[in-house]
Amino acid sequence: MAHAIKENRMTKLRLYSAKACPFAHRTRLVLQEKAIDFELTEVDLQNKPRAFVDASLYGKVPAIEHEGHRIWESAIINEYLEEVFPEPRLLPREPGRRALARIWIDYANTRLVPAFTQLLRAETRDQEAAGRKALGDVLAFIEREALARSSGQGPYWLGAEVSLVDVSFYPWFERLPAVGRLRDFSIPAELTRLRAWIEAVQARPAVRAIQNPVEFYVERFAKFVKPAATTAA
């Protein structure tokens, strides 16, 4: 199935994905932003097809096959796509700004994702409170040290143009309202730049094209919330 408007190269790319996976969501967004024609294989991670196992040696989504290459891990896939399909550009040209982009992508992987998971998968009230604080601290750091310093007057993480940084963070923010319902968490009102950034990214056609409703994530996340730890929506 083709999922973009135009084909950039002769050999169509194949993406192995899972609709609920935020890491696969990252790569779907890059493909949409760059209008890369591709064939989608939706993977049941409980019953992995042989072709997917061959393509992803870690057994995780996303993975791609393109021109004889098998590539996995979302951050690596996305940089590959940036190099092979350079327009529109999603990383800055200037080396220092490009390094900054990679630092923030690493922050998403090493700080945001663990804090999000800590809150979602908490098994006791104390763990839930610790997860809520951890995620709140990460969001405050993003407001103070990222968006207040890097965005300037632009709506996106690095300013006027969307980048791989926006793509790397956004999937967790699409899922955050579902965590909010299940764990009584919301973005503090004073994080105004973060709220504006979410609105700007959500308005992009590439984001809207593959967006899932909050209920989709609530249904999938509910299994992580034990009855004793559930809070009011």
Q: Rounded distance, CA 208 to CA 48, Å?
A: 28
Chain center to CA of 58: 19
Cα within 13 Å of Cα(42), Cβ side: 5
Q: CA 146, CA 150: separation in Å to the nearest integer?
A: 6
- Residues with active-site annotation: 21
Residues 6 or more apart from 71 whose CB is under 8 A from it? 63, 64, 77, 80
The Cα–Cα gap between 197 and 170 comes to 9
Q: Compute the C-alpha angle 13/11/167, nearest 5°.
A: 30
- What HEC string does 28-70 produce? HHHHHHCCCCEEEEECCCCCCCHHHHHHCCCCCCCEEEECCEE
Query: How many CA atoms within 13 Å lie on the side-chain side of 116?
Result: 22
Q: Which residue has the tokens 């042989």?
A: 50
